[in-house]
Homo-oligomer: A and B are copies of this chain.
Amino acid sequence: MRYELHYWPDIQGRGEFIRLALEDAGADYVDVARRPRGAATLERLLRSRSVARAPFAAPFLRAGKQVIGQTANILLFLGPRLRLAPKRETDRLWVHQLQLTIADWLGEAHDTHHPVAGSLHYEQQKHEAKRRAANFIGERLPKFLDYFETVLRRNPGGYLLGKRVCYADLSLFQMVEGLRYAFPRAMARLERGYPRVMALHDRAALRPRLATYLASSRRIPFNQQGIFRRYPELDPV
């Protein structure tokens, strides 16, 4: 099965959580919008009147005739197929629950620079962004890190499920990457308190296929159009 990933070609964004799973699994996939005219295909599919079950937004995945939207839902579908989720329903739901918690965390990280509206520029909501980012760094970031540190402590082995990797581990790796990009000062202060989360990040980065991907041109660098953005005034000393 060759999967087709449809996501905006110039940012990591939400699509990156899917890319990491596909890459770590060595899956056969095409990142459609990064090919010539691929972004037009993405927009056409989003607006098509012929798709009975069109997604609300990108990313979405085409797998044969199926079109699947919502990042966590795509990973729910891919998980067992890529051997990045256990087979038992109980375990699959647990991994999905962790993924949805990461999705909430990611949404809050996004809203630090866009607390008023995604359709306005950062400069138009800078005042609000400062307040929201201060709350994110002071309260929410430690709360989410605490949670994942606790999960790792209670399920020893190095990954969220213990010894076996799952797609939520790759997503947690990406959260640490993104948070280090966006909030280098806050992360430098906080990281020592969460040794298991940071060890998971480092362990994931050494996975052979993931390391190859991260060093390749397929990995889009973080930038100021993505979900994680670095505005020094949102990450004070």
Q: List chain A positions with a Cβ less than 8 A from chain B.
A: 51-56, 66, 68-70, 72-73, 76-77, 89-90, 93-94, 96-97, 100-101, 104, 107, 111, 115-117, 119-120, 125, 128, 131-132, 135, 139, 144, 147, 150-151, 154-155
| Cβ-closest chain B residue relative to A101 | B56
Q: Give Cα A55 to B89, complex, Å.
A: 17
Do the beta carbons of A154 and B52 come within 8 Å of each other?
A: yes
* Contact between A93 and B116, CB atoms less than 8 A apart: no
Q: Residue A117 contacts which of B54, B119, B139 (CB distance < 8 angstroms)?
A: B139
Between A and B, 7 residue pairs with Cβ closer than 8 Å are A56-B104, A68-B97, A70-B100, A73-B93, A77-B93, A104-B107, A119-B135
Closest chain B residue to A131, Cβ basis: B116
In the bound complex, do residue A117 and residue B135 qualify as a contact, i.e. CB atoms below 8 Å apart? yes
A132 / chain B contacts, CB cutoff of 8 Å: 115-117
A103 nearest CB across to chain B (Å): 8
Which residue in chain B gives the minimum CB-CB distance to A66?
A: B90
Choose one: B66, B68, B70, B150; the contact of A101 (CB below 8 Å). B70
Which of B96, B100, B135, B144 is A116 in contact with, Cβ under 8 Å? B135
* Given A69-B97, A76-B96, A101-B56, A135 and B150 contact (CB-CB distance below 8 Å): no
A10 to B111, CA, bound (A): 28
CB distance from A35 to the nearest CB of B (A): 25
How far apart are the CA atoms of A111 and B139 in the complex, in Å?
A: 17
